[in-house]
Amino acid sequence: MTYDIVMGKLNGSIVLITGASSGIGEACAIAFAQEGARLLLSARRMDRLEEAKPKLLSVGAEGVHVFPLDVRDRAAVESAIANLPSEWQAIDILVNNAGLSRGLEKLYEGKTQDWDEMIDTNVKGLLYVTRAVVPGMVKRGKGHVINLGSTASEITYPNGAVYCATKAAELSISDGLREDVLGTPVRVTSVDPGMVETDFSLVRFHGDAERAAKVYQGLIPLTPTDVADAIVWSATRPAHVNIARMVMTSIDQANSLLFNRKQQ
C-alpha cells in the first residue's frame, strides 16, 4: 500500500499512541504521520515499531520515537512517561488505543484470566496512561486525549459482558475526564467504532484463525484506516471545538446486535 504525502495540519505536534504496533494503532500512526506529527509510539512488540519507523518518516512524520510498554504495568507506565527524552515530553495528543477482548463465553462460564486481562488493559491501562500524561497537558495549557471506545459500550451483547463492561467504563472515564478538565484547554474525545477488521477477533479467540475469519464473513466491516481517519479528524478541529464522542459503524452494522450478513 502507498500513501500520499499531504500538507500537515499537525506539524511538530507530539502524538503518543499506545498499542501502535498493529491494527487501529498502526493506522493512526500512519494517519498522524501524514499530518506532519512527531510520533511517540508504544507497544509490547518493539520489533514491529522499529520496522514501522522508516515508512512513517517517509510519509511525513517529523520524527518518530518508539518504546516498549505494557499498559497493564502501572510502574512501567509511570517510568516510561517520566523518563521520555526531554524533547518528547510535551505530549500534545494522547491516543489511548491499547485494548483487547478475550473469549466469547457466557459470563458464568468465562475464564477469570480473560477477565483480568481485559480489565487490566482496557480500564486500568487506560487510567494509568491518562494519569501519567494529562497533568502535563493541564500544566502546559494544551492537550487532547482521544480514547478508543466501542459500540459495545452502549449495548451489551451475549457472551461479551466483561468486554462490554470495560468499554462502558472507558466511556464513563472519558466523560468524567472531560468534566474534570473543564476550564482548561484540554479536550477529551471517545471514538467508538463498531466491527473493525483487525486482529481483534484473532486475539479474542486465542489465535483460532478459522473462528476469527467467520466474524467478518458476509458483511463489510470498518477498516483500521476508517477509524484512524475519524481520530485525526477529531484532533484537527479548531482548538475551541471538542468532539466529545463519535460513534461509527459500517453500512452493514446498526449496533452491537444487528448486522446485515449476506448469503455466501
Record the cell numbers describing residue 124, joined without a space.
Answer: 486500568
Cβ-Cβ contacts under 8 Å for 19 (sequence gap 6 or more): 25, 42, 43, 71, 97, 98, 99
108 catalytic per annotation: no
In contact, 225 and 27? CB cutoff 8 Å? yes
Cα–Cα separations (whole angstroms), residue 114 to 59, 99, 108, 111, 166: 37, 13, 13, 5, 12
In contact, 197 and 223? CB cutoff 8 Å? yes
Quickly count: other Cβ atoms within 10 Å of residue 68's Cβ.
13
End-to-end CA distance of the chain: give it in Å, rounded: 28
Measured CA to CA, the distance from residue 85 to residue 72 in angstroms comes to: 22
The amino acid that residue 210 corresponds to is E
Per this entry, what is the length of the chain? 264
Measured CA to CA, the distance from residue 49 to residue 106 in angstroms comes to: 36
Catalytic residue (choose from 3, 128, 157, 163): 163
Task: Phi first, then psi: give them for residue 213, nearest 5 degrees.
Answer: -65, -30
Catalytic residues: 163
